[in-house]
Structure formats: structure tokens, C-alpha cells
């Protein structure tokens, strides 16, 4: 479900443009819904009607149904206004949602301007504004400018920009990162068991070797800034879990939001330029705070941290499921609570999520599947094991390098031919809390994209 915004000052013509775009785009065969944000108190009900009387009596929600339509009236009763992402999650799936307002959210937008309002353009200070529709000349801009009445032209641009136009690439660049939980600096000579970055564009794939996590973070920050400045849409995949089993974030941070856990870890994880870090100490502290059901397990025997068991309990029956829902689909994937051992990803997550929290803030990235993948930079969890057959048959002597090269190429090909759209559809209700591996149940499509 694509999301595109229409913003502008009061009386700039936003509602009129939304109305015309709905008619134009639905006329082309797409399904469209809308969201309108009002800054003032608004009530669609009428005093004295049955639904109004239900609300006055204290109902939290009132649903009115008829043979032609139904409507839900939800009373906040002093609670916080819902975020745009929460509202989108309640809507039935469509091709496109046009959003009027919500100018501070990170979805792409078109700005509407009428000269008679006398207001300045917002675009110069807002990188999410991808085009301007105006009734007068607004001078040189770094984005396209359309006549306000050119509804077909605006619709063409919008459908192309959000990837709905036939033949439109969903992403222009795909970045795949093979992360590392090492506690020492990787060798100067390129080697396995280090951080590798694969970057796929229309001119091919390049790979980068990184000796430390701080070096990799700086490389990624510069890469994302350059791609955004060039107007390219980027999908960035990372090979560690983005979330934990349901209930863990709430127990640790007091909030169910998995992104709140990212910020919580960022405030506590220590990591220096030589890869020295405190991941085991922090994991031990989390285990201790949760009582006898200690989810994190496996540590170096030499570390005196009794709150981290050396081995997993034979029958783990703790506060949370041992595995996320996606790890029952991709059975080879290790549980996020395992910190050490072949194929383990627990340490990579503890050290990678703080980095993603910083990059997300710096570059206004959206995180799939916690957020709609509609912005110019989208983060997603990936798993190289989905193309293991291709990696094993590749002549590259460094397996990690082969993984990022092949996986970035596969996702890039799927982004060009439309195959990625199905993978980005919400796969399971648990995904919005626990995360999901992109392409988890599409391994055959990934392999086919490499042929």
C-alpha cells in the first residue's frame, strides 16, 4: 500500500487537488483511499442522532452500518492523537492512500501553493516534498514543478514516484549489509567474518569491506546522504533481527513499540573504533532485570557473568517465546536471544540496532515492516541463507562478499521488475511487533532473480 501526501498552507488548494487526483487515479484502474488531518476539533456526527447519543453515553467506538457503507467513530477520551502509521494500519489495503496534512511525517509529498495565500514554499526546508504544484511561477527548484490544474501530469509523476506506474522501479539502489558482532578489529586484508556491504545500481554491483562497526556506520551514513541528494530511492537490508519475540520490548522499555527498544539499546550499548563493546554486560543486566526467566544465553566461558547461561535451557519456557514468528517460517534462522555460536545473531542485533537507530534519525528512514515502506530510504531485515545455493556455487573465496553481492543483485532485480512488491506486503500480524525477514517465504523468487 503506497502512501503519498498533499500538503500546503490554508486555502492553497490541497483538498481540490486531492479530489481531482482521486478521480484521475481511480479512473486509471487503481484503488485509492484518503486520510484528511484536521487541526481543529471536527465532528462528522449530528446531535440527536442515534450514534451521537451512543457516544454521549460514553461509548469508546461507534460503528454505523448500512447496505451501502459503514463508518467508525472513535472517541479518544483524552488519549493521545493516533500517529499516521496507526491510522494506516486500520485501513483496508488499497493501491494508494492520499494523505492531506501530516506534514511532519516522512512519507513523500507534493506541495500545493496558490500565490494569493502569500505564504512561502515549504519545499526548500523539507526533503520529503518531491514536487510542487502552483498556480504561478515559483522560480528554480530542485524538484519538479507542475501547474496546479495539470491533474494528469501530477498523477503521472505521483504514480511513477511511488512505484505504481507500469515499469517503474520500486527502488533505484539496493544496499545489503553483512554485519558482525566481533570484539576485535578485522584484518586490514579483506576477509570473511567481517562487515561487508553490497551496493546494487543500474551500473552493476560493488562491494565494500569494513574493518569496524564505526567505519561501517560512517560509510553507510555517507552513502545514504549521497543517494538521497541524487534523488534515488534506497532499500537497505541488514542481516540481523530488527525485533524480538512479542512482549520483550514492553518488558524492557515499558513500551510495545520495537523502535523504542532500538532507542533504548542505543542509549546503553558501548562500542569503540576497535570493535570493543559491552554487549554481554548489557545482556546480563537485562536477564537479571527479568527475574529467573533469563532469555539471553551463551557467552564466553571466561566472562564472569552468571546471569547469562552458557547453554540454553533444554525446555525454554520463559516470559517470551524463544523464537519470533518468522523464525518458524525460516527454520534455519537462529533465535535472537543466542549471543554466541555458529550462525548466532543475538550479538549482531545488540550491536546493530543502535546503529540503525542513529541512521534512521539522521536520514528519516522508514523501517519495514514496522512502518510503510514508502519513503526514499527503507530499512529491512534480510537473511542470506535464502540464497545459500547460489552462494555455495559462487567462485568467490570470501563467502560474506558473495552473499552481499548476490543478495543485493537479487533484490535490485526484483525492485525493477515488480517482484519486490509482493515481498513487502504485510506477511503476518506478528511482523509489526517482532519484525520479519524480507523474502522469508519467497526464496524461489530470489533465486530466480539471479538467473
**How confident is the model over 79-126, as pLDDT tens digits?**
888 888 888 888 888 889 999 888 888 788 999 988 888 888 888 878
Residue 49 has pLDDT above 90, yes or no: no
**Is 315 a residue whose pLDDT tops 60?**
no
Q: Check: CB of residue 55 under 8 Å from CB of residue 48.
A: no
Confidence class of residue 394 from pLDDT cuts 50, 70 and 90? very high
Cell numbers for 260, please give them.
Answer: 523504542
Closest among 96, 77, 95, 74 to 86, alpha carbons compared:
74
d(CA 419, CA 445) in angstroms, rounded, equals 8
Provide the 8-state DSSP code for 64.
E
CA 130, 134, 139, 145 torsion: positive or negative? positive
Which range (146-150, 219-223, 277-281) has the least confidence?
146-150
Mean pLDDT of 296-317: 85
- Chain segment 429-443, per-residue pLDDT in tens: 889 999 999 999 899
Highest mean pLDDT, choosing among 246-260, 313-327, 365-379, 414-428: 246-260
Specify whether the CB–CB gap between 213 and 180 falls below 8 A: yes
Over residues 65-78, the mean pLDDT reads: 77
Q: Is the pLDDT of residue 367 over 60?
A: yes
Pairing of strands 195-201, 204-210: antiparallel
pLDDT at residue 42, rounded to an integer: 62
Residue 355 has pLDDT above 80, yes or no: yes
| Poorest-pLDDT segment among 41-55, 86-100, 156-170, 229-243 | 41-55
Residue 143 pLDDT exceeds 60? yes
Strand partners, 7: 111
Helices 258-266 & 346-363 angle (0-180, nearest 10) = 100
Strand 145-147 relative to strand 96-100, pairing: unpaired
Predicted local distance difference test score (pLDDT) of residue 301: 93
Of residues 293 and 356, the one with the higher pLDDT is: 356
pLDDT, tens digit, for every residue of 191-213? 999 999 999 998 999 999 999 99
Q: Distance (Å, rounded) from C-alpha 381 to C-alpha 240?
A: 6
pLDDT of residue 82: 81
Q: State what percent of residues in the chain have pLDDT above 90.
A: 60
pLDDT confidence tier of residue 388, bands split at 50, 70 and 90? very high
Q: What is the pLDDT of residue 320?
A: 87
User: In this structure, are residues 255 and 192 in contact, taking their beta carbons and an 8 Å threshold?
Assistant: no
Q: Which residue has the cell 578485522?
A: 186
- Angstrom distance (rounded) from CA 169 to CA 448: 18
DSSP 318-370: SSS-SS-THHHHSTTSPPTTB-SSTT--HHHHHHHHHHHHHHHHHHT-EETTT
Amino acid at each position: 500500500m503506497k502512501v503519498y501526501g498533499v500538503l500546503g498552507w490554508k486555502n492553497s488548494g490541497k483538498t481540490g487537488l486531492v479530489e481531482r487526483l482521486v478521480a484521475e487515479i481511480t479512473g486509471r484502474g487503481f484503488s485509492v483511499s484518503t486520510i484528511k488531518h484536521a487541526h481543529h476539533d471536527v465532528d462528522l456526527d449530528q446531535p440527536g442522532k442515534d450514534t451521537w447519543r451512543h457516544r454521549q453515553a460514553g461509548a469508546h467506538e461507534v460503528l454505523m452500518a448500512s447496505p451501502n457503507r459503514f463508518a467508525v467513530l472513535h472517541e479518544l477520551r483524552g488519549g493521545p492523537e493516533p500517529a499516521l502509521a496507526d491510522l494506516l494500519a486500520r485501513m483496508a489495503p488499497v493501491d494508494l492512500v492520499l494523505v492531506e496534512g501530516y506534514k511532519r511525517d516522512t512519507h513523500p509529498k507534493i506541495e500545493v501553493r496558490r500565490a494569493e495565500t502569500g505564504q512561502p514554499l515549504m519545499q526548500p526546508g523539507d526533503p520529503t516534498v518531491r514536487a510542487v504544484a502552483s498556480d504561478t511561477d515559483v522560480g528554480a527548484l530542485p524538484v519538479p514543478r507542475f501547474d496546479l490544474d495539470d491533474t494528469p501530469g501530477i498523477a503521472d509523476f505521483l504514480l511513477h514516484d511511488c512505484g505504481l506506474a507500469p515499469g517503474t522501479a520500486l527502488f533505484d539502489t539496493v544496499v545489503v549489509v553483512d554485519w558482525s558482532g566481533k570484539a576485535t578489529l578485522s584484518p586490514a586484508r579483506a576477509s570473511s567474518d567481517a562487515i561487508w556491504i553490497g551496493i546494487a545500481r543500474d551500473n552493476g554491483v560493488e562491494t565494500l569491506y569494513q574493518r569496524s562497526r564505526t567505519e561501517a556506520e560512517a560509510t553507510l551514513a555517507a552513502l545514504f546522504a549521497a543517494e538521497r541528494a541524487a534523488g534515488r530511492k534506497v532499500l537497505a537490508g541488514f542481516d540481523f533481527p530488527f525485533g524480538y519475540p512479542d512482549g520483550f520490548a514492553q518488558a524492557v522499555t515499558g513500551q510495545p513499540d520495537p523502535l523504542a527498544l532500538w532507542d533504548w539499546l542505543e542509549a546503553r550499548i558501548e562500542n569503540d573504533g576497535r570493535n570493543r563493546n559491552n554487549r554481554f554486560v548489557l545482556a546480563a543486566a537485562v536477564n537479571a532485570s527479568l527475574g529467573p526467566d533469563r532469555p539471553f544465553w551463551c557467552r564466553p566461558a571466561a566472562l564472569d557473568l552468571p546471569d547469562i547461561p552458557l547453554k540454553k535451557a533444554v525446555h525454554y519456557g520463559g516470559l517470551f517465546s524463544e523464537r519470533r514468528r518468522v523464525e518458524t517460517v525460516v527454520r534455519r534462522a537462529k533465535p535472537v536471544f543466542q549471543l554466541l555460536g555458529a550462525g548466532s545473531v543475538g550479538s549482531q542485533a545488540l550491536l546493530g540496532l543502535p546503529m540503525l537507530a542513529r541512521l534512521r534519525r539522521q536520514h528519516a528512514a522508514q523501517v519495514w515492516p514496522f512502518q510503510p515502506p514508502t519513503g526514499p530510504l527503507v530499512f529491512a531485515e534480510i537473511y542470506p541463507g535464502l540464497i545459500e545455493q547460489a552462494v555455495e556455487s559462487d567462485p568467490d573465496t570470501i563467502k560474506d562478499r558473495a552473499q552481499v553481492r548476490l543478495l543485493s543483485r537479487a533484490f535490485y532485480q526484483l525492485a525493477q521488475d515488480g517482484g519486490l512488491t509482493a515481498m513487502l506486503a504485510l506477511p503476518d500480524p506478528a511482523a509489526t511487533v517482532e519484525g520479519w525477514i524480507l523474502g522469508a517465504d519467497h526464496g524461489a523468487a530470489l533465486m530466480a532473480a539471479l538467473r
